[in-house]
Amino acid sequence: MNVESVFGSEIFTWIIIPLLIFLARIADVTLGTMRIVFISKQLKYLAPLVGFFEVIIWLLAIRQIMQNLNNVACYIAYGAGFAIGTLIGIHIEYKMAIGSSIIRIITKKDATELIGHLRSKGYGVTSMDAEGSEGKVHVIYMTIRRQDFENIAQIIREFNPNAFYTMEDIQLVSKGVFPMKKHSFLIAPLRGPFKFWRKGK
């Protein structure tokens, strides 16, 4: 079997080309999702770098589409790659947990033990008394690394399973109290842009 027969075969036209388009679309949409995340976190050096590879891969995919306008399998592969790439991008973003978040905890139960435990773990905690719709409550504010959320949620459930808490992302943190952590070699290069540190007391 010569090269020309392989590239001109039905298998190449209806399976290999759509598969390549599918994989390329997954790659460029995944990178696109990450680029948007980097932009939102003001990582001005990473976002353009990811965008460069994203658009190169997209051009390769769209080139194949334009050369196979009569191939319905290419359209299906293009759309499926977009969908799967979006899903993978969201999953990667969740796992990376880049940036900072603010947690608000509202509890009717005395929060002294919860606050003491959080502070013993190195987290900065601001608390106050407030008035809720059903009486007096304790309100706790914390600014945390997003990657620490699951650990903090577990602590909240342990000390007060009925507490109401919310989390939302924030773009900028100027100073703060964070627990010291050993970063892996993959995270270490990103420490500069994030500027997480523990404030001395």
Is 0.85 topped by the overall pTM? Answer: no
Mean pLDDT of 21-30: 95
- Per-residue model confidence as pLDDT tens digits over 47-88: 999 999 999 999 999 999 999 889 999 999 999 999 999 999
Q: What is the pLDDT of residue 8?
A: 55
Nearest to 61 by CA among 85, 88, 81: 81
How does residue 109 score in pLDDT terms, banded at 50, 70 and 90?
A: confident
In sequence order, the 6+-apart residues with CB closer than 8 A to the CB of 35 are: 47, 50, 51, 54
- 100-194: what fold? Alpha-Beta Plaits (3.30.70)
DSSP-based three-state secondary structure for 110:
coil
Q: What percent of the chain has pLDDT over 90?
A: 44
- Domain range summary for the chain, segments of one domain joined by +: 7-96, 100-194
pLDDT at 98 over 50: yes
Residues 153/165, Cβ–Cβ less than 8 Å: yes
pLDDT at 176 over 80: no
More confident residue, 86 or 5: 86
